[in-house]
Structures are given as C-alpha cells and as structure tokens.
C-alpha cells in the first residue's frame, strides 16, 4: 500500500493538485489497492485528527495575527523598524529583517509575513535605490524568521505529530530566530558596503523613534506574555491562543481605536480560510501517517538507518538532506506532517532530542519556502518587487548561506535549542 500511496501522491503533485486533496486521494487509492483496510477507517482517520483541543490554538493564533497586522499596530511596527534602521549602511534592507523579528510575535506565518512586509517595504526600498531582485530576496528569506519566533504555527503542527511540548518548542525558537535575524542584518550590511549603497543622511528624530517604540511595544510584549503563560503553567497553548485574540481585540478597541466591523469581519474570513487550508492538509496527512504506521514504515526506516550506520552525525546530515529535498517541492505544513511521523522514531533511535529535531525541521523546511521550484515567499516577494524568479534567485545566495549555517549549528550544537 505504501508504494501505491507514494506513487499516486507524486503523480498528483506533478498534475498540480492541491496538497490536501492529493493526500486524501492517494490515501484512498492505497486502501482500495491493498484491500486490507476498510474505507470506513480512512474516513474515521480524516476526522479523528481534527477532534483535538490543542488544535484550536491554530485558528485563534491566526485570528490574533490577522487582527494585529491589519490595523495601526502593524503600521507602527513597520515605521519603527524603518525609522530605526535607515541611518545604517544597508539599513533600509535591514528594516525588513528587524520588522520580521517583531512580526514573528504576531502572525506566526512566514507567508503572511512576506505579503504584509513586502507590500510596504519593497516599494520603499526600491525608491531608495536598491534593486528589486535584492529587495525580494531579502524579504523572502527574512519572512521565515516569523516561524522561529513564538507563536509559531509550524511549531504547533510539529508538536501535534511528535508529542513534543509546545512551550519548549516556543522557548527553543527564540535564540535561533535572533541569530537568524543578526546574520541577515550582517548580510544586508555586507552587500550594501560591497556595492556602495549609502546610508540615509537624514537627521535622527529621537523623539519620533521613542514614540514609535512605545506605540509598537504591545506587539513585542505578546510573545513574552505567551512564553510566560506557558512556562509557568498559567494556561495551555489553546488558552493562550484565545487570550491572544482577546489581547488583540482590547488593543484595537482601547489603545489604537481602529477596530471596525469591516476589519473584524475581514480578519475572521482571513483566519478562517487559512485554518481551512491547514486543516485539510492535516486531515490528509492523518490518513497517510496512519497507513504508513499500519505498515510499520517509520519503524522499519529507523531500523534500516540504524543498521546502515551507527554514526549519529551522519544520520543527522542525511535527515537534513532529505528535508531540504522534500521542502523544495512541498509546502511547510504538509512536509512537517508527513516527515514528522517518519523522523521521530529515527531521532529517538539515535538519541536526538525531539525539540532539537523540531527546530531542525522548521529551519530546514523554512528554507524550502524561498527555494525553487515552489518557493512560496520567493514567488510572493518577486511578484511585489516586479522582478523575475531568475533575478531574485541570483540575489538569494548570501541569505541562503546564512540560513544553512544556522541549520548546521542547530543540528550539531544542542545547546542552541535545549537551553
């Protein structure tokens, strides 16, 4: 059954069938081919995975992000990042990185981050003399910081398939997220210095910068409040997601006073559509994962790898290579849901902590968001910058180098994630 499942799924991906539908069709085809499992069991698996209290964290975190990013708070964050960075060499480019770190505590989605930041910052950067392709490459890679800074939708999905603690994953993502941001800021400075891009000579308005810092501080406070609530056991991840929505509503109503019924309805629709897409992938992945487990594919794969090599570092390298290859054609949520059940037994067999595996997987598959052929943030950023995919890809290499260095560090230095 497993071979039929894989072949049908690959064929459907080549035909550009949506991933969620492809997973369900491939699972149904495998069951019909094998004849060992009743079709009713497939239907049951489709819905069992959705009947989970922790799963409610997904729509509520998405709604909180939509409420905060769609109002004045999102603009205050962008203004603060651009005002604070534009006097540095490459500062206009670095503003995207700083804003991505700040937005990481708001949206939890790299794709939403790429769209929100790119639509505002890329035209501004181009007006300051930076090439569109460079701006697009910077935006495509910087937006992935969003999935490392809590709250992170991919971390919740990994916790779902692995049983790892959401609070531990959220905490472990902070240092790699900051390191990624620092590395990309350095890359922006290095490229600008090398190409002769000058910093802005406008005088610093410290009063305006202080005002923007105060106005944008509620967004920066959100991930801190989430981590404190989870770390001290004050609330579950789902309860923190609901509280995040309440926090966003109170900010919009009382502090920024920009919440209208139209914006609330727009945020609800946006969060509902995003949740529906993810839930369909989760349902399809549940069927595939159940069928693979039924045939003991993950366990046999772990046994085969363990019998092939006893070197833990070579196994980690092989896992990274597989994830890089899978992340190129496959989007991040389905890749996590498909690879998680396979790699978790292998990680346990070689003594790799699940938190470290989770960060490896998220950074690795995040790289797939801006690498061809189906790099989502790459396409979004190139479209906004009006640059071709080839032009953006040529500018991508220094930023990709930083991400790969961070991936190697997280893979082989447990202290970066297990502190």
Q: Tokens 């009743």 correspond to what residue?
A: 38
- pLDDT of res. 182: 93
**If you compute the radius of gyration of the chain from its CA atoms, what whole number of angstroms results?**
22
Mean pLDDT of 34-58: 74
Model confidence at 362: pLDDT above 90: yes
More confident residue, 118 or 148: 148
Q: How far is CA 93 from CA 141, 201, 397, in A?
A: 12, 16, 16
- pLDDT of res. 398: 93
**Distance between CA atoms of 292 and 338, rounded to whole angstroms?**
10
Mean pLDDT across the chain, nearest whole number? 82
Predicted confidence band of residue 376 (pLDDT cuts 50, 70, 90)? confident
- pLDDT of res. 124: 80
The alpha carbon torsion through 39, 41, 47, 52 (nearest 10 deg) reads -170
Nearest to 406 by CA among 186, 244, 212, 193: 186
User: Please, which residues have CB within 8 angstroms of residue 280's CB and are 6 or more apart in sequence?
Assistant: 18, 20, 21, 24
More confident residue, 234 or 109: 234
Handedness of CA 382, 388, 393, 395 (dihedral sign): negative
Q: Tokens 């994630």 correspond to what residue?
A: 417
Q: Tokens 């994830």 correspond to what residue?
A: 323
Mean pLDDT of 343-370: 90
Predicted confidence band of residue 105 (pLDDT cuts 50, 70, 90)? low
Please answer whether residues 264 and 63 qualify as being in contact, where contact means their C-beta atoms are separated by less than 8 angstroms. no
DSSP helix/strand/coil, 143? helix
Two tokens, residue 72 = 């004045």
**Distance between CA atoms of 39 and 30, rounded to whole angstroms?**
10
Q: What angle do CA 222, 228, 229 make, to 5 degrees?
A: 90
Model confidence at 137: pLDDT above 90: yes
The top-scoring range by mean pLDDT among 61-65, 72-76, 407-411 is: 407-411
Q: How far is CA 82 from CA 95, 130, 213, 415, in A?
A: 5, 15, 12, 33
**Distance between CA atoms of 256 and 248, rounded to whole angstroms?**
10
Helix (H) or strand (E) holding 413: none
Instruction: Outline where 15-109 has alpha helix (H).
Output: 19-34, 39-48, 57-69, 72-85, 91-103
Model confidence at 108: pLDDT above 70: no
Please answer whether residues 402 and 180 qualify as being in contact, where contact means their C-beta atoms are separated by less than 8 angstroms. yes
Predicted confidence band of residue 312 (pLDDT cuts 50, 70, 90)? confident
**Distance between CA atoms of 407 and 413, rounded to whole angstroms?**
10
Domain ranges of the chain: 2-416
* DSSP labels, 83-104: HHHTTSTTHHHHHHHHHHHHHT
- pLDDT of res. 407: 95
- pLDDT tens digits for 165-220? 888 998 899 899 999 999 999 999 999 888 887 766 666 667 777 777 777 777 77
The alpha carbon torsion through 136, 140, 141, 145 (nearest 10 deg) reads 130
**Burial of 86 per CB tally in 10 Å (0-12, 13-18, 19+):** buried
- pLDDT of res. 286: 75
pTM here?
Answer: 0.82
HSE toward the beta carbon, residue 179, CA cutoff 13 A = 17
33-37 LR contacts (CB < 8 Å, sep 24+): 33/1, 33/4, 34/1, 34/4, 36/1, 37/1, 37/291, 37/294
**Distance between CA atoms of 66 and 209, rounded to whole angstroms?**
25
- pLDDT of res. 270: 82
- pLDDT tens digits for 256-309? 788 888 888 988 888 888 788 778 777 877 777 777 777 777 667 777 777 777
**Distance between CA atoms of 114 and 379, rounded to whole angstroms?**
10
Please answer whether residues 145 and 97 qualify as being in contact, where contact means their C-beta atoms are separated by less than 8 angstroms. yes
- pLDDT tens digits for 381-395? 888 888 888 889 899
**Distance between CA atoms of 238 and 62, rounded to whole angstroms?**
12
User: Please, which residues have CB within 8 angstroms of residue 314's CB and are 6 or more apart in sequence?
Assistant: none
Task: Put residue 165 in one of left, alpha, beta given phi > 0 → left and psi -120 to 50 → alpha.
Answer: beta
Two tokens, residue 166 = 């959401």
């Amino acid at each position: 059954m497993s071979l039929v499942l894989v072949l049908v799924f690959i064929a459907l991906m080549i035909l550009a069938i949506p991933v969620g539908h492809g997973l369900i069709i491939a699972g149904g085809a495998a069951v019909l081919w094998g004849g060992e499992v009743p079709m009713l069991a497939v239907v049951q698996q489709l819905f069992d995975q959705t009947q989970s209290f922790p799963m409610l964290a997904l729509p509520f975190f998405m709604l909180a992000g939509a409420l905060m990013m769609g109002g004045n708070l999102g603009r205050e964050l962008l203004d603060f990042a651009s005002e604070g960075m534009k006097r540095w060499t490459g500062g206009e480019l670095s503003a995207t990185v700083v804003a991505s770190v700040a937005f990481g505590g708001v949206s939890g989605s790299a794709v939403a981050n790429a769209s929100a930041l790119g639509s505002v910052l890329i035209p501004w950067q181009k007006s300051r003399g930076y090439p569109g392709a460079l701006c697009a490459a910077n935006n495509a890679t910087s937006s992935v910081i969003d999935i490392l800074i809590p709250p992170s939708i991919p971390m919740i999905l990994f916790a779902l398939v692995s049983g790892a603690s959401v609070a531990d994953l959220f905490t472990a993502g902070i240092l790699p997220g900051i390191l990624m941001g620092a590395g990309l800021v350095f890359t922006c400075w290095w490229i600008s210095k090398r190409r002769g891009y000058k910093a802005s000579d406008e005088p610093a308005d410290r009063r305006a910068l202080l005002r923007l810092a105060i106005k944008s501080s509620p967004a920066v406070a959100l991930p801190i409040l989430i981590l404190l609530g989870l770390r001290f056991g004050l609330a579950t991840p789902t309860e923190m997601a609901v509280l995040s929505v309440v926090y966003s509503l109170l900010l919009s109503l009382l502090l920024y006073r920009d919440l209208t019924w139209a914006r609330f309805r727009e945020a609800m629709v946006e969060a509902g559509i995003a949740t529906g897409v993810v839930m369909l992938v989760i349902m399809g992945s549940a069927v595939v994962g159940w069928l693979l487990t039924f045939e003991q594919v993950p366990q046999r794969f772990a046994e085969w790898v363990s019998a092939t090599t006893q070197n833990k570092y070579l196994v980690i390298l092989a896992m990274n290579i597989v994830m890089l290859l899978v992340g190129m054609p496959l989007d991040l949520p389905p890749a996590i849901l498909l690879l998680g059940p396979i790699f978790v037994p292998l990680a346990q067999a070689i003594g790799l902590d699940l938190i470290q595996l989770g960060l490896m997987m998220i950074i690795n598959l995040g790289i797939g968001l801006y690498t061809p052929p189906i790099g989502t943030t790459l396409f979004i950023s190139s479209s906004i910058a009006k640059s071709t995919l080839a032009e953006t890809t040529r500018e991508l290499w220094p930023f990709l180098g930083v991400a790969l260095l961070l991936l190697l560090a997280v893979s082989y230095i447990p202290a970066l994630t297990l502190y």
